Amino acid sequence: MRTSTRLTLGPLYFLWDEAKWRDFYFRIADEAQIDRVVIGETVCSKRMHFMEPHVVDVIERLTSSGKEVVLSSLALVTLDREAQLVRSLAQQEEYVVEANDLSALHLLAGKPHSVGPLVNVYNGATARLLVDRGATSICLPPELPSKSVYDIVSALPDSDFEVFAFGRIPLAISARCAHARAKGNIKDNCKFVCGDEPDGLSLRTLTGQSFLTLNGVQTVSHTCQALLFEIPEMIQQKITGLRLSPQNCDMVAVAQIYHDVITEATEPAHALERLSKVYLDVPFSNGFHHQREGAAWVSKFRSLTG
């Protein structure tokens, strides 16, 4: 039985209301086959007050259940108060911080920290520099093909590397809020309309084809990356962690599916069938991993949701 590959729950990119946010993490703490949880606002600092009343209770619940807690930094810092937030995060000593931009990397240099998938780590030299500066774990960008991933991992065989294995793929982030604009608002008076779509606002082309998904100032994929058939090879190639990005579905069930593939309790084909019943009406993709367009599904098995 394989047990060495860790499952990490990445930060929640979407805006959920206070009760849903709290109850989601309480259930993750109590029921999910997850080893490590990255918690905190990554996309938009304006959203932070939705989680603040429950952060202490959530962290306590997660740690008491034996899960490692990592604090996420913002992916884009544009204001003085956001810079101060990142500085405060870097200065605390109780929890490891995950850097999602270069400013956080600068502040965390010399102390143990993680590097998130929004930082462009595209080669072994970059990964080595980050490790030398204190990075103890790196989640590689989801757009990297498998050959590049394995080349980086082989260059630092004693370091921990995660692969983005489930979730809508983070593609871009902007100082402007296209989500608010799509609802007729501006960023400074957005009215938190991104909370209307707990899994993001789907976009279509002029011909009606599903294209991308808006999440406040962030753009994510329309498809959901689902690396299941690739897990045996990733384990063989010494990938030490698989990252599951929270979506508006039963993430406890998602974690169990991935855990079952890691431990060889189920075959990837059966796992895909189970996953398609958990995350309904969202096409799966694995194209980036196979050096194809990100929305592609590459497998000898038929996509069940595409």
Whether 8 and 38 have beta carbons less than 8 Å apart is answered as yes
What ranges in 40-186 are assigned the alpha helix state H?
Answer: 48-51, 55-64, 80-91, 102-108, 124-132, 146-155, 178-182
Instruction: Evaluate the CA torsion angle 151, 154, 155, 157 in order and state its sign.
Output: positive
Say if residues 117 and 141 touch (Cβ distance below 8 Å).
yes
Q: What angle do CA 74, 77, 83 make, to 5 degrees?
A: 95
pLDDT of residue 300: 59
Would you kindly state where each structural domain of the chain is located, as residue ranges?
Answer: 6-170+218-290
Q: Is 64 exposed, middle or buried (0-12, 13-18, 19+ CB in 10 A)?
A: exposed
Dump pLDDT digits (tens) for 173-219.
Answer: 999 998 989 889 988 889 999 999 999 999 998 998 888 999 999 99
Tell me the per-residue pLDDT of 219-265, one tens digit each, with 9 for 90 and over. Answer: 999 999 999 999 999 999 999 999 999 999 999 999 999 999 999 99
Please give the radius of gyration of the chain, using alpha carbons only, rounded to the nearest integer. 18
> pLDDT value at position 208?
87
* CA–CA distances in Å: residue 123 to residues 127, 149, 154, 159, 170: 6, 8, 11, 14, 19
CATH class of the region 6-170+218-290:
alpha beta
Among residues 173, 274, 179, 290, the alpha carbon closest in space to that of 225 is found at 290
Model confidence at 122, pLDDT cuts 50, 70, 90, reads: very high
N-to-C CA span, the chain: 32
